[in-house]
Every structure is written in structure tokens, then in C-alpha cells.
Amino acid sequence: MKVFPIAEHTRCLSFLAAALYLLAAAALLHASIARAADPQAYRVDIAATGNRVFDSTLKATSQLEALRKTVPASPFALIARARGDIDRLKTVVESFGYYDGSVAITINDQTLGEPSLGDALGALPKGKDALCKVTFILGPLYHIGRIEIDGSVPDFARGELALASGAPAIAADILAAGARLLTTLENNGFAFAKVNAPVAYQDPENHVLNVSFHVVTGARVQIGEIQFEGLKRVHERLLRRRLLLHAGERYSAIAIEKARKDLLTLGVFDAVSIRLAEAPDPQGRVGVTFQMRERLRHAVSINAGYSSDLGGSAGVTWTDRNVRGNAEQLVLSASVIDLGGTATTGLGYDTSAKYIIPDFAHRDQQLQFAVGAIKQSLQAYDQTAETSGMTLSRKLSSEWSANVGISAVHETIIQESITHVYTLFALPLGVLYDSTGLTSPLIDPTHGQRASLSIAPTLSRGEPNATFFVTQASIAEYLDLHRIFRTEPGRSVIAVRALAANAFGASQLDEVIDGQELRVPDLPPDQRFYAGGSGTVRGYRYQSVGLQFPDGNPVGATAMTAFNLEYRQRIGTDYGAAFFADAGETSESLSPLAGILHSRSCSSSEPLEGTAPVQSNSTCWSVGVGVGARYYTSIGPLRLDIAVPTYRRPGDDHFEVYIGLGEAF
């Protein structure tokens, strides 16, 4: 009966054997250096086992496979590389439960021990690949026999092994069982528990592996004194007020880790680590020290983007991450926008200043003050505006959040050569749901949902005066296809989104422009809804979908609906591709299903058979399709999308290009 510790793809060689092996390899290399100086190209054929995970692990472990393209090898170095693979692959075979298995490697059908193999490889014509063939004799699959725990362990923890007699004796499963046992103990007060690497007793006659775990639980303790080290500008009272951990609570490793991660969300620390006292105090408490490393107080970032309809944009942002020592942020940003583009008519700017107070009056509640100025020249209108607002945001749970605010805008808008001056006051309210588990909206979501609902009662003073309620809703679903395609999670994803918006209380005005009577919303032009562009319907110019003035400029509407469908595929480690279809419309009222049945298609000037006649200012559904490329960075994917309209109206572009950071939705 063999006795050995379970290890994860590792094998020990004696110092003497390793030394003899290196001397032999050096002698062979020296003896044939004149004939085998050039690198020997080769191919690798690893026999399939029928187990996808098993095959992937074998391929990933093989040095023949991993170094084939990156590290050229002479004929004798190739032989040495193949010899090393035998031990590596044998370890993998055993780790999957085949403890009587063996590995064989041949090169051009010759075994590695053939004396003539080196000369045969050296005689290969230039450009001729050698074939390295890896085969396995797996033998019987071993199963787990007896499972023993050496040491006193509470009953509630024993079940956490989740290891059953009769299950395949896979090393990863056995190691994971020990890790689960240790985690359970640490999360239930046993701060100094130890679970040694499991020891396996091989029974070759019955093809079973008897497993033993040696456990020392130690004393069950509570959280003792909590200290902070490394603080410079950050006030300790902020951390103590926010801390999720308190002295006197039962020790729990997962609770401590949760508290550590929560402190990182303040945004003022580069790193937070934990140090425990070496032993409990006489009261059975263990001290916990949080070791902090503060981030640089000030930061400068540069941003840029491009789309063929809105042109280019470039800006700079300056941030003070810790204004007064309580993680308050001051963010100043300025951007140049509308640098060219088919939907713009001149250069613009967008500037803002924000002051953010975290944990305002309540944990996970922040107060933001903001002022800004914007100038944009679009085909729909020219706008110059000054904005101000205050927003109170509250994180209700890990998935839900809500916000309420007040805002004021003073703006001058020119549309169809008519100048309007407006002053708007709004009380925006919003609820957000996000189950993707991501900390940044720029990171590519691969599962879960994102949804939002907002309503903003708005009072407009201008020409004319109006009161309306701007309501917007969206829901996005991310479906991971790894179970269908049997790939790694997150590599193949379908993303779908639905958008709907309506300005309740808005009315329509009959205006005659260039001899044509149009029904125009009484909303300020920038408060109307438009479709087209990267945020709604790619392939159509920004704001171009919907009713147009006689000169082709967008009018805007009181309602908007859009749907997006996108397939995202990762390629390798850093690259990806996307295929998408977008559809949207604008209208006088929000009725998506009725709009599909009763509005005309953009590819037809006639109403659908059996429907009511279409008025001259009715809108239609616009559909754009396209493809995209992705380059994945640490802060999010760099996106390049190219989209075309399925029906091109007079004045529409043939295609649109979008470049930016983060997915479209």
C-alpha cells in the first residue's frame, strides 16, 4: 500500500537523479552540437481522453505544447523537453484518479530512449516538422474509499467536506474538500484552525484511495481590539463609523474579508490588508489590524472618443480623492466635443465640477453637488446651457440603489433659426437594479441584469411655458452561453436591452414651417426624445430617427422606444468580436406594440394592409445592423463598431463608425 500526500500537479525528483539527468543531457548536446545547432520545428499530437477538462489540463501542462512556438529547440533539446513532459503529464493523469496510468511519448514514431533518435532528427530536411506523439494508458479509475478526519472537529463542520466514498479520486476535489473544511472553521470562530494537506493511502487491489485529513481547530475566539495602520490623511473616525466589523463579535474570516473589501470601495486606498494577533488574549479575543496604503490624493486622466456622426471628443479630468480627510471628492472635467461628424454643425464643449460627500448622514449614502456648462451644435438644435444640481444617492442592497435630486438649467436653444431661452427646474427620482456583480459600468458584463426607472417632474419657463414628467425605463439582460457551447464562462454572451421613454403632460403644437404643417412638441428641443446613434440605433446618425423638418433636421418627439440585441464573443485573451441589431422609433405617445402594428416600415411609404391611415408626420421603425471588434483592457473593453442602416433614407449616411471605452450597453 502506497502512502503519499495529495498534491496539485507536482512531483519531487531527488537531487542525485536531477544532477545525472542534466549531465547526460549536456553530454548529448555537446556530442552533436555541430549537426543539431539549428532549431527543430515540430508538431504535437496529444491523444484525447474523452474528458474535456482532462484534455485541456494535459495540453496546458505540456511543455512541448506551451513552448512550441515561443522557445525554439535543437533536436536534443527537443528530446529533453519530451522527457520532462512524461513526469509532468503523469502527475496530471494521477490527479484525475488514474494512479496506475502511464504516459508514452514518441518523436517520429521512435521512443525517446532510441540511441539513434538524435541523429535521425538532425538528418531531417530543413523545414520538415518532427511529430511528437503523446499517448496514455490510463488503467482503472480509482475511487475514494474511507474518509477520515484526524482531530476534534465540530459536527457542523464535518459535513462541509462534501466528499463521498465511491466518488472518483480526483485530486482537485480532495484538495477542495480540505479547503472547504478550513473555511468553515475559520468562519465560525476558529481563527487558528489548521487543516493539513490530505494524505492518501492507495489500495491498488481494490483501486481505491483512502483519504485522511489532519485537523487542529484551536480555540474558538471573538473579535478583539480593531486597529488601523498606515493612515496619513484619511480620518480614522470615518473608517470606524463605516466598518462592518465590531469587537466582541464571533470571529469570522469571511466577515473580516467583507469589511476589508468594503473599505476599498471608499476609493482612497490602494490596498487594505489584514494582520491577526498571533494568539487570543485571556478573554478569548483576537486582535485585528487593518493595514492601509492610501492612494495618491490627486489624479489626472485623459479621455477621448470618436463616432462618425458626432465626430471626435477629447477631455481631461482632475480629481482630488480626499479633500478634507473623509473621502470627499472634487472632480473637475472639461471636454471638447463635436470635432467633425455628420450630425454636428460646429465645435462644442462640456465642462463640469462635482463635489461628492460619501456616507452622508447614513452609511452607503452620498450627496453630490454639481455645476456645469455645455455648448453643442447639432443638426437638431444649437444649445448653450448652464446647469446645477444636487443628488442624494442611497445603496439599498448589493443590487438595488435609489436617488433623488433637484436640478436647474438655464439654456439658449436655436432650432430652425428660431432662438428660445428656457429656465428648467426638475426633481429627478430614480431606482436602479444591477445583478451583474461588477464594480464599474465600463467592465464587460457576462451575466445578470441591469434595469433602471426614472421620473423627473419638470417645470419649464420659456416659449412656451410647460409642465411635464420625463419618464425613462430600461432593462438589459446578459446571457452566458458557456453551458450551451461548453466553453469557459464569459466567453460567449448574448446581451439584450429594451428602452422606453415618455414625456407625460407634454402636448403638441401645430406649426407651419416652409409651407408644411407639422405637429411639434411644446417641450424644449433638448428635452424631446430622439433615436439614432450609439445609445439607441446604431447605423443611423445621432438623433436622425423620427420626424424631420422640411430641411431634413430632426424635430424630436414626446416618446421613444428602442431594442438592442448583441452577440459578444471573446477571442483568445485580449480580443473579441460582436454582432448586433438595433431597432427604434420616436412617436407622440408610448405604445411599442401598437407602434409595431400600426406604424409604417421605414422601407415602405405605404401603411400596412388593414391598419389605419398614417398621418404625414408619423414615424417608422428604423433597424440598424453591424459588427464590432473588442480589445479588452483592465478597465474595460475598447470598442470599435461599424453599423449600417437596413433602409437608407435620403440624407442618411451609408454607415456609421463608433469608437469608445466600454460596451454599448
Q: Which residues pair with 471 in a beta bridge?
A: 455, 502
Separation between Cα atoms, residue 325 and residue 236, nearest integer Å? 9
The three cell numbers locating residue 432 = 436602479
- Which DSSP string do the residues of 215-262 spell out, in sequence order? EE-----EEEEEEEES-SSS-HHHHHHH-S--TTSBP-HHHHHHHHHH
637: enclosing H helix or E strand? strand 636-645
Alpha carbon separation from 628 to 313, 476, 491, 542, 545 (Å, rounded): 20, 19, 15, 18, 22
pLDDT number for residue 617:
41
222-294: CATH topology is Ubiquitin-like (UB roll) (3.10.20)
Contact 517, 526 (CB under 8 A): no
pLDDT number for residue 3:
54
Separation between Cα atoms, residue 15 and residue 656, nearest integer Å? 65
298-661 sits in which CATH class?
Answer: mainly beta
Q: What is the mean pLDDT of residues 47-74?
A: 94
pLDDT number for residue 1:
53
Residue pLDDT, tens place only, 139-168: 999 999 999 999 999 999 998 898 999 999
Residue pLDDT, tens place only, 328-383: 999 999 999 999 999 999 999 999 999 999 999 999 999 999 999 999 999 999 99
pLDDT number for residue 614:
33
b/e sequence 522-531, b meaning 16+ C-beta within 10 Å: bbbbbbbbbb
192: enclosing H helix or E strand? none
Task: Give the single-character DSSP code of 380.
Answer: S
Omega cis (within 30) before 154: no
Is CATH 2.40.50.140 the right assignment for the domain spanning 143-216?
Answer: no
User: Which range, of 30-39, 153-162, 204-213, 261-270, averages the lowest pLDDT?
Assistant: 30-39
Q: Where in the chain is the domain with CATH 3.10.20.310?
A: 143-216, 222-294
Contact 201, 209 (CB under 8 A): yes
Q: Computed from CA positions of residues 240, 243, 244, 249, in that sequence, does the dihedral angle turn out positive or negative?
A: negative
Residue pLDDT, tens place only, 105-140: 999 999 999 999 999 998 999 889 999 999 999 999
Q: With 60 as the cut, is the pLDDT of residue 19 above it?
A: no
**Beta-carbon contacts of residue 572 (< 8 Å; ≥ 6 apart):** none
Q: Whole-prediction pTM value?
A: 0.78
Judged on CB neighbours under 10 Å (0-12, 13-18, 19+), 116 is exposed
Q: Where in the chain is the domain with CATH 2.40.160.50?
A: 298-661
- Residue 129, φ and ψ in degrees, nearest 5: -80, 140
Separation between Cα atoms, residue 315 and residue 348, nearest integer Å? 12
pLDDT number for residue 509:
79
With cell 486622466, the residue in question is: 301
Q: Which of 588, 587, 620 lies closest to 602, judged by CA?
A: 620
73: enclosing H helix or E strand? none
Pairing of strands 466-480, 492-504: antiparallel
Q: Which residues pair with 412 in a beta bridge?
A: 384, 421
Q: Looking at beta carbons, which pairs linking 361-366 to residues 24 or more positions away fall under 8 Å?
A: 362/394, 363/241, 363/242, 364/394, 364/395, 365/392, 365/393, 365/394, 365/395, 366/392, 366/393
Q: Which residues pair with 212 in a beta bridge?
A: 148, 199
Please count the other Cβ atoms lying within 10 Å of the Cβ belonging to residue 170. 20
Separation between Cα atoms, residue 160 and residue 624, nearest integer Å? 52
Separation between Cα atoms, residue 236 and residue 549, nearest integer Å? 61
SS3 content of the chain, % helix, strand, coil (to 5): 15, 45, 40
